[in-house]
Amino acid sequence: MNEFTLTEQERALLPSDDDVRFFAEHGWYLSKKLFSDSEVDELTAAVDRYYAGERSRRLPTRPPRLAYWTPEHGNVQRHNDYVHYESDGIAKALLKPLIGAVAARLAQAAEIRVFQSTLIYKPPIAEEPSNVVPWHFDKHYWSSSSSDRMLTAFIPFHDCDEELGTITMVDGSHLWEEVGSDDSATKHFAERDRDHLENLLEVNAAHNGTRVTKIPMIIPKGHMSFHHCRTYHGSGPNRSTRPRQAISLHLQDGDNAYREFPLSDGDLAFYNHDFLVRRTPDGKPDYADPEFCPPVWRS
């Protein structure tokens, strides 16, 4: 029995051939309504329980770059990694085959697995500096991944627009040749200098003979936006009166695997998985370990 099947109604929600071409050209895609309102409400309830301290299991160890907000951190932007692992309620939503099937179409891959899931909360404080997400692309954190087809689904739990500080894409930037990057790029954006990143974006656009076109994703509840792993994106402050709540679901195609990626100091790039996942027969971190990187789709 194949658990990765879609209903007739779900098939109608897949990206069309034009949508797949659009994603290849622009590096982003706004989906149809992939979650019903009640599915989003169930996810929100699971997240409320997570913030209240409920866990289905806990990570066996805390890898070095783990994002893990706890109440002592206060009213800053919250990031919590591995929520698909620690909360079965959250995993139930994120492992919906339809999300994987949409990603598989966009990445033109036969299999899609979870790479990471990060729960995000921007408190409604217009001046809160931690709410601003500087320009970056996700592949920078994934140097130890062999694939260039990885992608991210940004899943808000409510209508999400510029007032809330929605995710904003730099159109077509996944096709840019990159200049001026260094090892600091493998660090999370929270550890990097914002002005430097803003400037780097302009420098890269100019190098590629183009301008920076910023597209805020206006995402209705139940919809989600997808971006290619080399698409520059960021987001602004939350100027509204309600929190901006979302999950970034980072996805890998079936072919992705650990690769050795030497940094300039001779050390190898690593990802937090390398401290958690099982090993392949040749002793490398297995990015297909179903415990941490479960499949979301197989065609």
Q: Nearest 5°: CA angle at 228, between 135 and 88?
A: 95
Write out the H or E segment, with its range, that includes residue 119. strand 111-122
User: Residue 234 CB, nearest distance to ligand AKG (Å)?
Assistant: 7
Radius of gyration of the chain from Cα atoms?
18
DSSP for 225-291 reads EEEETT--EEE----SSS-EEEEEEEEEETT--B---B-TTSPBP--GGGGTSPBPTTSSB-TT-TT
Instruction: Kindly give the pairing relationship between strand 167-170 and strand 214-216.
Output: antiparallel
User: Residue 167 CB, nearest distance to ligand AKG (Å)?
Assistant: 4
Positions that interact with Fe ion (CB under 5 A): 138
User: Residue 153 CB, nearest distance to ligand AKG (Å)?
Assistant: 8
Based on CB atoms, which residue is closest to ligand AKG, 124 or 286? 124
Q: Does residue 17 sit in helix, strand or coil?
A: helix
Based on CB atoms, which residue is closest to ligand AKG, 109 or 251? 251
- Nearest residue to Fe ion, using CB? 138
Contacting ligand AKG within 16-55 (CB under 6 A): none
Contacting ligand AKG within 190-249 (CB under 6 A): 233, 235, 248
Based on CB atoms, which residue is closest to ligand AKG, 80 or 286? 80
Answer for which of 95, 102, 107, 120 binds ligand AKG (CB under 6 A) is 120
Asked if 232 contacts 169 with a C-beta cutoff of 8 angstroms, the reply is yes
DSSP tag of 73: G
Answer for which of 154, 176, 232, 297 binds ligand AKG (CB under 6 A) is 154
Q: Is 272 in the site for ligand AKG (CB under 6 A)?
A: no
Task: Please choose which of Fe ion, ligand AKG, none residue 229 contacts, taking the beta carbon within 5 to 8 angstroms, the exact cut-off set by kind.
Answer: none
Query: Which tokens in the block code for residue 290?
Result: 């179903």
Based on CB atoms, which residue is closest to ligand AKG, 156 or 254? 156
Instruction: Return residues touching ligand AKG (CB under 6 A).
Output: 120, 133, 138, 152, 154, 167, 233, 235, 248
